[in-house]
Amino acid sequence: MNLTIENILLVGSILLFISIIVGKTTYKFGVPTLILFLAIGMLAGSDGIGGILFDDPKIAQLIGIVSLNFILFSGGLDTNWNSLKPILKEGIILSTLGVLLTALSLGTFVWFITDFTIYESMLLGSIVSSTDAAAVFSILRSKSLALKTNLRPTLELESGSNDPMAYVLTIAFLSLVINQDQSIVSIISLFFQQMIFGAIAGFAFGMLSKFIINKIKLDFEGLYPVLVIALMFITFSATDFVGGNGFLAIYICAVYLGNQDLIHKKTILKMYDGLAWLMQIVLFLTLGLLVFPSQISPYVGIGLLISLFLIVVARPISVFISLIFFKMKLRRRFYISWVGLRGGVPIVFATYPLLAGIEKANMIFNIVFFISVTSVLIQGTTLSIFAKWLKVVLPGKSKKITEIDQLILDLPKSTLQEFVILPDFFSVNKRIVDLNFPKSAFIIMIKRDKEYIRPGGSTGIKVNDILMVLADSEEDYVKVNECLSKRNKAKKNRLDKE
């Protein structure tokens, strides 16, 4: 079947529906949903029962990049900065040095066992060198693993921030394959340019986005998530335009925004949670359609050998060397080594050699696809088992609920108190988003005269308003009272001078 304008929506919606239903029913058997999405795409493709002909790496790459924008941005919004601070150094080292060591060690192995040139081998190693954010986020969060000693934020930080390094290495070694007279020193300058520009742009666009979201007045709450989507794509494309890494920029931008007070933050988080799942399904369905299973079969043997070396040797070596100067228990290092999931990102990166038209592009693509599938099948299905074996999982009752969980799930706090806004309160005529309200407390309702107002970030506080606040402890209510009643310091200083 050829995809046309007339049938693409029908075919796409049917595949999406099947993916959701099949994913729901088979997850209880321990099969990662990402593999199911890939399998459905392959079955619907030209070699499967669907017979859909799709052989356009350029469109697949575009869909992949757009999907990764949503997946990374959603992962960043869900990331609690307080949980990142203790493991920031480990995460950065894993996402840079760890990726480099994985690429070099795997590339060297490929060079020894195949007829690839050294640059072609390093290109293959670079493509699969990073852990996949979509795979790590979806599997860890869907399994709700409560891991000890900041393991989960370490793994999510690594997977969310290591794609830029893999991207730089992929582009660099691809250019060396095409132009073999080019100096390898160019990789170093390209790396620093991409990382530095990407990091600066991420913080800059994060602060700019917060200002725009909180200052702009839109008539409909549903427009705010749309505004965030526009800001996300502006961040990615503008960073790429100036020579920075767009993937790093949107992740940093999202982490910044996720830890700020935003208007309609709950609405934005809920929408991105759904969009991230949609984009994961679309991405893996597309990649499944792009693959011809008949072309993979000749590479099963070599693919399995490379995949096993990556899982058992290359990944552990890179993790242990990267974390050698950090105090960390051995079982924690082993678990980080095991959660080296490869997924959609390496397959998207493998489209770059296809579009460049290098000699072994098809072979590289098929091997990368096989590596990604075996990684999710072998590692993705055993994360819970290894967590128990290595004793890095917390008992179910010890799992903490984060602020993001509170916002998305509307979970109640322990106690309720009312606060009356007096004329001399600092909060008078201020918007809720401008109050720096404690994150551990929520305003659930405002009584104004005889009306009850459901508050949002843009809701202004008026004199004699009665705020109904939910919080966990008396200490939280002390902070709330200070936040609402503190006098304007400038006004107080002026009165003192008079």
CATH of residue 423:
3.30.70.1450
Residue 405 lies in a domain: no
pLDDT at residue 29 in the model: 46
Statement: residue 397 has pLDDT above 50: no
- pLDDT (average), residues 54-77: 87
Q: Look at 116-130, 132-146, 160-174 and tell me which has the smallest mean pLDDT.
A: 132-146
Residue 428 lies in a domain: yes
- pLDDT (average), residues 465-474: 79
Statement: residue 307 has pLDDT above 90: yes
Residues 45 and 184 reside in one and the same domain: yes
| 357-367 per-position pLDDT tens digit | 888 899 999 99
3 state SS of 451: strand
Residue 39 lies in a domain: yes
pLDDT category at 140 given cuts 50, 70, 90 is: low
| 288-297 per-position pLDDT tens digit | 888 888 888 8
Closest CA to 162 of 325, 353, 318: 318
pLDDT at residue 107 in the model: 94
Last residue of a domain, one of 398, 424, 448: 398
Of residues 405 and 445, the one with the higher pLDDT is: 445
pLDDT at residue 122 in the model: 94
Last residue of a domain, one of 398, 422, 446: 398
Q: Look at 157-166, 239-248, 452-461 and tell me which has the smallest mean pLDDT.
A: 452-461
pLDDT category at 411 given cuts 50, 70, 90 is: very low
Query: Token match 């916002």: residue?
Result: 407
Statement: residue 56 has pLDDT above 60: yes
Statement: residue 8 has pLDDT above 70: no
- pLDDT (average), residues 62-74: 89
Residues 191 and 168 reside in one and the same domain: yes
Residues 119 and 47 reside in one and the same domain: yes
pLDDT at residue 242 in the model: 92
DSSP 3-state percent helix, strand, coil across the chain (nearest 5): 70, 5, 25
**What string of DSSP letters covers 198-243?**
HHHHHHHHHHHHHHHHHH---S-TTHHHHHHHHHHHHHHHHHHHTT
Residue 406 lies in a domain: no
> How far apart, in whole angstroms, are the C-alpha atoms of residue 456 and residue 452?
13
pLDDT at residue 398 in the model: 43
Residue 447, Cβ neighbours under 10 Å: how many? 15
Most distant pair of Cα atoms in the chain: their distance: 87
Mean pLDDT across the chain, nearest whole number?
81
Identify the burial level of 6 via C-beta atoms within 10 angstroms of its C-beta, where 0-12 means exposed, 13-18 middle and 19 or more buried.
Answer: exposed
Residues 392 and 449 reside in one and the same domain: no
Of residues 98 and 141, the one with the higher pLDDT is: 98
Q: Look at 268-272, 300-304, 315-319 and tell me which has the smallest mean pLDDT.
A: 268-272
pLDDT at residue 408 in the model: 47
Closest CA to 367 of 379, 344, 350: 350
pLDDT category at 25 given cuts 50, 70, 90 is: low
Residue 192 lies in a domain: yes
Of residues 95 and 78, the one with the higher pLDDT is: 95
- pLDDT (average), residues 318-324: 93
Domain that holds residue 386: 5-398
Residue 404 lies in a domain: no
Last residue of a domain, one of 398, 421, 454: 398
Tally of domains in the chain: 2
pLDDT category at 22 given cuts 50, 70, 90 is: low
Residues 247 and 388 reside in one and the same domain: yes
Residue 337 lies in a domain: yes
Identify the CATH number of the domain in which residue 31 sits: 1.20.1530.20
Residue 493, Cβ neighbours under 10 Å: how many? 10
Residues 321 and 422 reside in one and the same domain: no
Residue 407 lies in a domain: no
Residues counted in the chain: 498
Residues 451 and 383 reside in one and the same domain: no
- pLDDT (average), residues 226-251: 93
Residues 372 and 244 reside in one and the same domain: yes
pLDDT at residue 254 in the model: 92
pLDDT at residue 154 in the model: 85
pLDDT at residue 3 in the model: 56
pLDDT at residue 7 in the model: 66
Statement: residue 496 has pLDDT above 50: no
Residues 431 and 482 reside in one and the same domain: yes
Give CA torsion, residues 183, 185, 191, 193, to 10 deg. -90
> How far apart, in whole angstroms, are the C-alpha atoms of residue 32 and residue 15?
17
Q: What percent of the chain has pLDDT over 90?
A: 23
pLDDT category at 441 given cuts 50, 70, 90 is: confident
Q: Look at 24-38, 203-217, 342-356 and tell me which has the smallest mean pLDDT.
A: 24-38
Residues 394 and 456 reside in one and the same domain: no
Closest CA to 325 of 84, 92, 82, 102: 92
Of residues 410 and 307, the one with the higher pLDDT is: 307
Residues 462 and 388 reside in one and the same domain: no
Q: Look at 23-27, 40-44, 179-183, 194-198 and tell me which has the smallest mean pLDDT.
A: 23-27
Residues 318 and 465 reside in one and the same domain: no
| 141-200 per-position pLDDT tens digit | 655 556 766 787 888 788 878 888 888 899 889 988 988 777 777 778 888 888 899 999
For the ranges 109-118, 272-281, 339-348, 454-463, the maximum mean pLDDT occurs at: 109-118
pLDDT category at 129 given cuts 50, 70, 90 is: very high
